Chains A and B, each alone.
Chain A
Amino acid sequence: MANLFPRWTNILPLQILVVLGLIGAAVTVGVWYYFTPKYTRVGYQPVQPVPFSHALHVNQLRMDCRYCHTYVEKAAHSNVPTTQTCMNCHTQIKKDSPKLEAVRESWRTGEPIPWVWIHKTPDYVYFNHAAHVNRGVSCVHCHGNVNKMEVVYHAKPLSMSFCLDCHRAPQEFIRPVAEVTNLDWKAPSREDQLVMGKKLVHDWQVSPPVNCQGCHR
């Protein structure tokens, strides 16, 4: 009886296995890289309805974050300023700038400015700004150096592991409350940060939740 299968088929199962293995590895690596917030979120930089520059307002004019994000120390939600807040200054300064037409339009009509949401946590995450900025966690940790950004982009992954990195080791990140909105502040060295961090964690009794209820309710 003749062979049913030609000789080259002997090696076929091995080839299939190897190829499947390679595909499997590629998929794993692909998902690992492309499907995680590090890739999907970081770098998101939508065009905003008003070409507002944080770099100009914060870095050059030295405005404090809390001038516009007024309730960041009081509420879970850090508010985006109302049109009124913009108009506090822009009725005087650059009042005819074409870049500000959308703001003036909003002020005239009462229609709010539809800012595009960048730093968006999932619905099941209950992040609280007030709990962080009052306790020595700086804006920069999650939002990056917004003070240097012409157009705001998503700088950090804001994934669960990103949150837990800090919740598990707050001493690595915590800073004096006075420096929270100073986005350029840095401890002189990592050793200094750890020494100071450990002291602050101890003195303020910082114990960030690492169980589910801290963020998921």
Chain B
Amino acid sequence: MKKIITHPPEAPVGKRYWRSLDEYSHTDEFKEWLSREFPQGAAEFTGDDVSRRNFIKLMGASVALAGIGLSGCRRPRTEIIPFTKTPEFQIPGKPLSYATSIPRRNGALPLLVTTYDGRPTKAEGNYTFPGLNGSTDQIAQASVLSVYDPDRSKGFVLDGKVITEDAFNIFLEDFKKRFSQGNGLAILLDESNSPTRARLIAQLASLWPKAIIYSYDPVTFGRNKEKADAIAYGANQSSVPLYDNAKIIVSLDFDFLGFVDGTPTSVSRYSKSRRITSPEDSMSRLYAVEHRYTLAGGMADHRLRLPSSQIPAFTALLATELTKQGLNVGANCDQFAQFAQPDDFKQKWIQELAADLINHKGQSLVVAGPNQPVETHLMVAAINSALGALGKTLVTRKNETPSYSSIVDLANAIKSNSIQSLLILGGNPVYNAPADLGWSNLQRQVAETIHLSFDFNETSKLSKLHIPAATYLESWGDALAEDGTYLNIQPLILPLFDGLSQIQLVERLLGLPGLVAPDAVKETFKQIAKPSDFETAWNRFIHSGFLENSTAKTSGSSAQLNAINQSLAKPGVSFVALGSQDLELVIEADYSVEDGSWANNGWLQELPDPITKITWGNAALVSANTAKALGLKSYTEKGIDYGEFLRISVGGNDVQIPIQIAPGHADNSISLFLGYGRKLAGRVGGVESHQVGFDVYPLRTTNAASIILQPAIQKMGGVFGHAITQQHWAMEGRALFRENTIEGFKEDPLSAKKMGVDAHVPPNISIYQSPPLTAKQQWAMTIDLNSCVGCNACMIACQAENNIPIVGAEQVKNGREMHWIRIDRYFAGPQGSEEQNDIENPEMVMQPVACLHCENAPCEVVCPVNATVHSEDGLNVMAYNRCIGTRYCANNCPYKVRRFNFFDYNKRPIQDHQLYLGPMATKSEQDTELYKFQQNPNVTVRMRGVMEKCTYCVQRIEEAKIDQLIKAKDSSPAIIPDGSLKSACQQVCPAEAITFGDMNDESSNVSRNLKDPRSYALLSYLNTRPRTSHMMRLRNPNPKMPDAAKVGLISIEKNDSDHDDHTLNPELPAGEQKHEAASPAHGQSKSH
């Protein structure tokens, strides 16, 4: 039986933090969660196929079989296979890093990819690239796994039959002959900013003058920012916000901190504007107006929830208000303003916002989301121009990417029977084209479709010829970074299944060899870089990964008010006042699988949505009010959130999707996410008979791709249980998350150490003798909650580095996901009040938690076999081979950071209850064999029955130590210099929220952070003395705003001031803490 720690009751002051509606309403169900490690019954076998009794029978049989022949007694013969010829650079067992980049919608990310013996295992950001500090996003981290996707396409398929490459070449030659002029030929491209592809496509267009080239991307389709920028700033100009220069940022339905709309650059710039090193520093202020909680909304100081379709009216009102307060915006937007019917609260909100913007002229910035109509962007351009943002917080750049005709034109061309042959390079229009085009029927009308894609997907199935594509890690290419810098893409491994890159295929169509060779890229490089010495410049480019000084120049264009007003006079959007009968739908790409192209990546499927924490699927997000108005039920049972099905119809297409109540969501608005419900993605992402999540593409039309007004809504009955992790690993205790206002922090810099019971508990006296910490370097970590936006990149980076398996939706529901670092998302509202308003409009905060490496680790004392012990440099280490799986340690961990391998996740398929069958599960080599290539050879792959947890990336620490030993030889080794050793989560973080290093080194970053008054230890009153400290979040509310009082709320317990004298010591950095109990000044405090 677990020892129940009775945490002191929480004082009814300040703020209350909650993870789920269950916790909010103090249900018994949730209390169970708190005191248990896993939900009730999760540790039992409840699978239908295998009962405990059957399992024992099976095990008995297999033991008996193993006994016959005693095959285990002989030493197996293993071989060492050296190379025949010594390869250059390669040292067996040593990793090599190559500079390359991953193409992303908002600009490619420069990478350094680690390869072991020729196989890429981990993507890191290219730290030599200026501005990003080596950070990446979750997709870049997970992309390595997709290379080894066992379901990826493995050959050419003609008319449903696999053909050889020779047969394909014959087909291609014939194809080229048939279309010598390009008559009746259409090419559909996916979106890419590769200059080489653009150049080759242009060549192809001149070779086939009659062929027409189209492009389609489901995420950028229907985005309006580019169109608006072209009107406001001139053709091909695009505006780029510089968040780090801004003091006031207003985000209108724009998640610039999430990696669908935003980029690591925007996170990095934003976090720079918020960085605080002392109470004297100032920080930026963020206002967010949005329909659902986004990452940007979570970071905002003031947030207003408003349906997406009301944002244009809000913007107009803001422009009008600015003009009223004396700043002439000059945009004629009164026609929009009349649609907003602001109540007093919103009126006051807008007034004070306008005043704040005017007060910070030249330092303020307004940004709008890409799905907002052109009108919003035009008004924003006018506002920014009036605020003097241009050239300061906002710059314009020339957009170099060529544009092609739209898929809508292609559909019309097919309808008029002018297309005989369609060449689709990338993309999956059968799955993701706008529903009103009826794409699958259109594609059947075309006599011959040729489809190049990474996997044999929905579109390939309807194509005559399918060509397997090579990933970016297998082919040569190039791309432009977000800032326009020219980046290289170089192959780290030959295409695993003979795939072709788009560049190679186009080269072959042009009559070039099209091999895995950089010829085409070299040519483009020559044109862009114009080097005097080509070989040197090229080698330098390949080595560093980017072309220096190729950043796009800012063009300094100004907003053209005339053009803006002309466009505003003819608005393309219509408005309705939303009510419970007239809802809006907002459709966005998913944070994990984006448009669905990453659906078969298990890491991304199991990555919880940063806001809802739903894994393996999607839901229709609604506010509690709207759910009530629609009569939709939603409840929690055994930690699983159930939502009732909703039928949504748009233009004759139906989608049935379960709801999930999302605190902070705007009323009368429904948020939907793309990328799920794939019918031919693979074993992870779903097949026809077993779909993952719900496909909402049928609701998108060419005219309304992201914001859809007045859909037909019907309650369906029937519920669906989401695999949701919001309650998993819920911690018990007080003041887990600490925050203050910047003013409050200035008044009382030590406030972080006085929150919760830390305000009045007596200093801890330990009767337990900590293990000696004798090493020269003592490792510690700090996590700055003021910087962390909760983007999830660290979770995938950790998974890639540490061979962490995925467990599947079924096991996630049992609370068995394995992520070593988790991000706890809390909603927060005033303590004590239980009004409806709290659920509808809470604040949202993010807190990453991994093993805290306590000096007095509660897990160590309960391990019966010493499998978890302390090292002399302060790590709480796990010896997997000693672990017998009692799970006592996890039970005794107050932070719930230990993860148990209930099954052999690395050996067995996770689908269809196969895990429960143990050794009797279907042996499908494909499932696991190919994935093995991704695994980090320096980290043990854990088996069933073993506990695991964050190791502070011990393999990196040991590697760094050994490097110093090798350098030292017969002298004393130097210490590992600060900054040369980074944990995987630290390395990937665009906000630089995670700092890891030696706390014995006075000058190290981590020591500096530990001395920062904002640092505090989680549950420090338990005297665990964690090595990982969190740093208090700060908010910067505008005191004049109507909701300022709520934002300013902090959870300092205003107890008797006479306790203040003994509040500080328990919080000293663990290394400095010297048996405070012995100090007489603190020994006498009365206990509570």
Identify the A interface with B (CB < 8 A).
40, 44, 46, 71, 73-77, 79-85, 106-107, 110-117, 120, 122-124, 126, 128, 130-131, 134-136, 176-177, 200, 203-205, 209, 211-214, 216-217
In the complex, how many residues of chain B place their beta carbon closer than 8 angstroms to a beta carbon of chain A?
Answer: 42
Tell me whether B82 and A82 are in contact (CB under 8 A).
Answer: yes
Instruction: Tell me which of A76, A106, A107 has the highest count of chain B C-beta atoms within 10 A of its own C-beta.
Output: A76
Q: From residue A199, how far is it (CB to closest CB) to chain B in Å? A: 11
> B874-885: contact bitstring with A at CB < 8 Å (1 yes, 0 no)?
010111110000
B177 within 8 Å of A (CB atoms): no
Q: Can you show 12 pairs from A to B with CB atoms below 8 A apart? A: A74-B91, A75-B91, A76-B962, A77-B92, A83-B82, A84-B86, A114-B79, A116-B80, A135-B965, A135-B969, A135-B970, A216-B879
Q: A71-B92, A77-B92, A217-B954 are in contact. Are A110 and B84 (CB under 8 A)?
A: yes
- A77 CA to B962 CA, complexed, in Å: 13
A213–B972 touching, CB < 8 Å? no
Scoring B residues 1010 to 1033 as 1 if CB is less than 8 Å from chain A, else 0, what string do you get?
000000000000000000000000
Q: Are B92 and A136 in contact (CB under 8 A)?
A: no
Q: Indicate if the CB atoms of A79 and B969 lie closer than 8 Å.
A: no
**Knowing A75-B93, A111-B84, A212-B869 touch, does A217 contact B970 (C-beta < 8 A)?**
no
Would you call A216 and B962 a contact (CB within 8 A)?
no
- For the complex, is B81 an interface residue (Cβ under 8 Å from A)? yes
Q: How far is the CA of A81 from the CA of B968 in the complex (A)?
A: 26
Q: How far is the CA of A213 from the CA of B940 in the complex (A)?
A: 12
Which chain B positions have C-beta within 8 A of A113?
Answer: 82, 84
Q: Smallest Cβ distance from B121 to chain A, in angstroms?
A: 15
**B85 close to A214 (CB less than 8 A):** no
Cross-chain contact B938 with A117 (CB below 8 angstroms): no
B178 within 8 A of A: no
Chain B nearest CB: distance from A29 CB in Å? 18
* CB pair B966 A124 closer than 8 Å: no
What residues on A are CB-neighbors of B85 within 8 Å?
82-84, 110
CB distance from A71 to the nearest CB of B (A): 5
Complex CA gap A114/B966 in Å reads 30
Is B799 located at the chain interface by the 8 A CB criterion?
A: no
Interface string of B967-980 (1 = CB under 8 A from A): 01111110000000
Give me the 10 closest cross-chain CB pairs, A-B, nearest first: A77-B93, A205-B972, A211-B871, A212-B879, A83-B84, A117-B78, A131-B962, A114-B79, A213-B877, A82-B83
Residues on the B chain within 8 Å of A112, using CB: 81-84
Asked if B970 and A213 make an inter-chain contact with CB atoms under 8 angstroms apart, the answer reads no
Total contacts A-B at CB 8 Å: 136
Q: Choose one: B86, B872, B968; the contact of A211 (CB below 8 Å).
A: B872
Residues of A within 8 A of B86 (CB): 82, 84-85
Q: Does B554 contact A (CB under 8 A)?
A: no
The CA-CA distance from A73 to B869 in the complex, in Å, is 31
Q: Once the chains are docked, how many angstroms separate the CA of A3 from the CA of B881?
A: 55
Complex CA–CA separation, A83 to B84 (angstroms) = 5
List chain B residues, Cβ under 8 A from A126.
938, 955, 958
Q: Within residues 952 to 993 of chain B, which ones have a CB less than 8 A from any CB in chain A? A: 954-955, 957-958, 962, 965-966, 968-973
Q: How far is the CA of A111 from the CA of B84 in the complex (A)?
A: 7
Q: Contacts of A81 on B, CB cut-off 8 Å?
A: 82
Flag if A213 contacts B958 (CB, 8 Å). yes
A83 to chain B: closest residue by CB:
B84
B residues contacting A by CB (< 8 A) are 75, 77-86, 91-94, 869-872, 875, 877-881, 938-940, 951, 954-955, 957-958, 962, 965-966, 968-973
Min Cβ gap B636→A in Å is 39
Is B962's CB under 8 angstroms from A130's CB?
yes
How far does the Cβ of B885 sit from chain A's closest Cβ, in whole Å? 16
Do residues B973 and A205 form an inter-chain contact, with CB atoms below 8 A?
A: yes
A114 touches B869 (CB 8 A): no
Assembly CA distance A113 to B82 (angstroms): 7
Most A CB within 10 A of own CB, among B82, B94, B971: B82
Residue of A nearest to B869 (CB): A212
For B881, the chain A residues whose CB sits under 8 A away are 122, 124, 216
The reply to whether B80 and A40 contact each other, CB–CB distance below 8 Å, is no
Once bound together, how far apart are the Cα atoms of A216 and B954, in whole Å? Answer: 9
| Residues in chain B near residue A213, CB distance under 8 A | 871, 875, 877, 951, 954, 957-958
Q: How far is the CB of A178 from chain B (nearest CB, A)?
A: 9
**Distance of A110 Cα from B82 Cα, bound (Å):** 11
The reply to whether A84 and B84 contact each other, CB–CB distance below 8 Å, is: yes
- Residue of chain B at shortest CB distance from A68: B82
- Taking a contact as CB atoms closer than 8 A, the residue among A40, A79, A116, A131 that contacts B92 in the complex is A79
CA distance A157 to B884 in the complex (A): 25
- Residues of chain A within 8 A (CB-CB) of B81 are 112, 114-115
Contact B973 A217 (CB under 8 A): no
**Is the CB–CB distance between B871 and A217 below 8 Å?**
no
Apart from A79-B93, A131-B965, list 12 A-B contacts with CB within 8 A. A76-B962, A107-B84, A113-B84, A116-B78, A120-B78, A130-B962, A177-B970, A200-B970, A213-B875, A214-B958, A217-B938, A217-B939
Contacts of A85 in B (CB 8 A): 86
In the complex, are the beta carbons of B968 and A204 less than 8 A apart? yes
CA distance A64 to B82 in the complex (A): 19
The docked-state distance in angstroms from the alpha carbon of A115 to that of B879 is 31
Chain B residues within an 8 Å CB radius of A200: 970
Once bound together, how far apart are the Cα atoms of A76 and B955, in whole Å?
12
Expressed in whole angstroms, the Cα–Cα distance for A167 and B82 within the complex equals: 30
* Alpha-carbon distance between A216 and B872 when the two chains are bound, in angstroms: 15
Q: How far is the CA of A115 from the CA of B75 in the complex (A)?
A: 16
List of A residues within 8 angstroms of B938 by Cβ: 126, 217
> When the two chains form their complex, are residues B84 and A116 in contact, meaning their CB atoms are under 8 A apart?
no
CA distance A106 to B80 in the complex (A): 14
A residues near B957, Cβ cutoff 8 Å: 213
- The reply to whether B84 and A46 contact each other, CB–CB distance below 8 Å, is no
Contacts of B870 in A (CB 8 A): 211
A160 nearest CB neighbor, chain B only = B881
Closest to B962 in A: A131
